[in-house]
Structure 1
Amino acid sequence: MKFTNILSTQKKLFFMFLIVALLPLLTLGVISYMQSTKVVNGKLSNYNQFSGEKIKTELNQILVDMYYGTAAIQQYLADNTSINLKHQKPKTYWDFKVANNLERLLQAHEKSNIRGIYVITSSGYYYGNYSFKVDQFKELELWKRGFRSGNTEIGIYKPNHYRYNNLQYALGLLVPLKFSYGVLNDSFLFIETDLDSLFDSMNLLEEDLHSRITIRDETGKLLYQTKSDEQDLKDDVVWKEYTHINNWELEIRVPRDAFYQSSNVIFKIVLIGILVAFFLALILSYIFSNQFTKRILNLKFAMEEVSKGVFEKKVSFHTKDEIGKLGLHFNRMVDRIKQLMEEVRQKELMKREAEMKAIHYQINPHLLFNTLNTIQWKARLDGNEEIGKMLLHLTKVLEGNLDFTIELIPLKKEIEAIKHFLIIQELRFGSHFTFSLRMDDRIEQGLIPRMTIQPMLENIFFHAFEDGKGNIELEITKTKGYFQLALKDNGKGMSQDKLNTLFLTPNEKVRGGIGLSNVKQKFYIHYGNDYLINVNSVVNQGTVISISWPIRWGGHYDE
């Protein structure tokens, strides 16, 4: 025996509610965690990338300013007519004037982020801002390398060679000046740029995201590296940017644990939420399963009573949830069953009544047909052809109508029967009326209750026409699963009171034809309530009878 077969309904519902509650919660939790992590890590990655690009752009702009400024000053100094100092240290008025022009030239190329531009001679004399302490500057590794090699040097360092307002970080460019004239030959052009704003941006990454930033020149020489005890690992998250001027490499490295720290926090929050939701789902599943089980048991007991034939048993739920709606539909079903049983009982009574009438008025068909044939031949022998024809067509009408074994006949046979009936009326009244029929040959095998149209035609000749004068139109069509019949005359019409009683069962004592009530009764017996009879009439203008009933076919039919 399977495990589920030994569980009670309450336990099954309990586990079902628990699973139904937990699966969306777990799915939602996992999706929330994944999406939140994706968004947070994406924003963090974008922030790091944006910061790296910002630092690279700022550094690139600084280098552009420094290199272009150096090139412009070098081009100016290369002209021996521009700066022609006689002595390194000015001694004459001419020397002071030329030195002043040189310092103005250097100041003219200073921008907002350039701290100073200096020309330093080989003897140690310099031209530029007088707050510059050249002796302390010569202690920098940048100066020592450039002085020894005679090559251009660039580097990042912490300057202390100013008399006041020393920078935290600076970028210095030392360029040797090679001229064939004057005292500036073998001197150096030095440009120094303030990097404090750049390092403020870098410090944000270093402090907030635990990033380690490294800057290397085009040869791979280290220019700057964040002070940290952490080692570079393969799983570190790394971004790299390169400057356009000299292809410096800017590397931002974030430890994996630090980068995914926010994801871990999100995971803990989601896990706590899932655990809380689990306990709530546990409690609510028990409460709901218990409540549902009680109402389901009440519904089960009511169904058992109905199965025993007790249709007075109903359930009473005061809730509007699914179980309450189920109880409401159950009560409606019981009422519908009672209604259908009553309809079946009424139909059986009507059928039994019709059978009793048929038995009461039963006529031996052979005796009737033989008698009519005898009268017909007698009329011919006596030379009364008109009576003979009437009897012939009456026999054709009765052949179909006296066959009680077939209740539904093809439209084709019903039309044939009314044609014989109309010939009798023509022999009776003469050619004072017209009859037109519109029906597609493809629906002539459609079934209709036997002897349906003839009583309506009788009603027209006996009540609507005077001396058989008038026009009759019959149209039969098929649409959307139903046959549509429309019988129209231009007779006397009838009042609303007459319309209201047209299809009611007549008084048993009144003699007459089959009547229109039998037409309605036949449709009800065969189709239940799935039919429609409608009558529109205007006094002195005519009447239209419309009938709609479900499509059924007899014999062979090709759509």
Structure 2
Amino acid sequence: MRFPKWSWRQKLIITSLLCLVLPSVITLVLTGFYTKNELRNKAVDKAEQSLEVADLYESNIMKDMVNAFNSIQYDSEMITDLRVAWNKYKKDNTGTVDFFSFKQITEKLERITFFGGKTYVTILLPGGLYFSNYSTYKNDLKYMYGEPWLQDLSKEPMNTTSWLGTQQNYVRADAEKAPNLVTIVRTFQLYNNGVNAYIILSKPEEQFSQIFAKYASDQVMMVLDAKGRIISHTDPEQIGQSFRAERSSTGAFDIVKWNGLEYISVKHPLPFASWSMQSLTPYESVTSKIGNIFSYVFVLQIIFFMLFAIVLFYFLNQWTKPIMRLARTAAKVEKGLLQERSKVKGQDEVGHLGLAFDSMLDRVGEMIHQIEWEQSRKRMAELELLQAQINPHFLFNTLNSIRLQAILSGKHDIADNIGSLSTLLRMTINRNNEFVPLHEEVGTIEHYMRLMNFRHSEGVELHTNLASDTLLESIPRFTLQPLVENAYIHGLQQKQGEISISAWKQSGFLYIQIKDSGIGLTEEKMLEIQSGSPVSGIGLKNVKERLQIIYGDVFAMEMCSSVGSGLTITLRIPLTIREENRDVPSHAGR
């Protein structure tokens, strides 16, 4: 797929439009995201507040039921009356009891007040004797002795409280009005180590759920037991069902999917029986608000975009006219019409650009003549350079001819000196390689020493001790010559003595040591040279600075001397690597 070639003006317009559109889109996205989070957080905060109110209400109901257990179980008069009733019931052995004889038990049960409204209290004694605070007419409760939950509770330790949860109303008179009861049971004993008796407390489930509709009309709230079964719910059909919700995302809050719908879920634990309260806020009700806000913001963005686009087109057209004129002029100049001028004027940057462009065209002719003149001068310089290259070759050939004549005449010392001079001149003039092998550099030093001894008629001896693995290591050209010259002239003072050059490898470095048997240096002179004084040790300073430029901080030069014991200079150079058929320092340029 080919994209059209857009002009600069089109690119500017499109870029400007993008600069308008992208911030708007980003603003919409960020606004939507921020608004969505805010609405979610507000929904969660509202659910939390509703749960706190409902939690307090439900906790008070549950605490009140537990307190009712305690008021019955630890009331000595009540326990005494129950013992008397149970003993008489056993003694009569008729299976019946004169409830009027034990009316005080029923009256005490009826006088117990409960938070939240009506509460059914049932006391089951062994052998089928029971008491309640409600009418048992046509409501035989003996079936409760065979209930599975009672059989399971009989196996538990004494004073165990069992939160049964929701069950059908066993009080026939109220079953139609309150079909479900929330029941808890506790075991106790009339006598120590006696048989179990049971206290059963039941509250209509509506007392638990009435708070939901009052404080959370736009939420789904419920009470769950430890296994996730619904204990209380505004929808009676949900009571007793297992709350199975698929969690689709987590974070500061949960989003769950239940009965095919998504909800924002908030959960609070209750203080008893590992029960909890669950709040579900329909996710769609939150997102619908986001959609309305987003639509409103989007319409405003479109209106502002249209207004800005109109203003932008007008100003872009005014601003780009001079630049388009410059572009057309440049196209004509490219075709060779050097007499064209843009004639763009003004005090702004574009005006200065047009003036500079026209001035540049005026100077093009002058530059053409200048280039022609420079090319002529360049050809002359190349001819002169060629002539200059002939002179060194002529000099080397002449020296070799003189050396051959000296050999033929039997003057071998003169021939050797001429050969050393020729070699030294060739090394000085040849600039092809900045780096040379160590053995070649030392060979140059040997030629230099021969010439110096010839000049001064002194027998200065040069000793070399180069490790075999150092001979081919590359070092910068003329690294050692200034150091040897310093030792010859200043150390030995051009008198007889010894100069030694040693080289070895150690720990990735090449060590080169130049040592003389001269007069040595005082401590003050050493400090003066090491401080870089411009009047002392110029040769040493130049070598050190040159090698530091090439190798960086990994290079080091140490000097050791005392008066009368000569000077020892040790160079520490990083080992070189061979690259593209030439030696290059591995740390060069650092």
TM-score (norm 2): 0.46
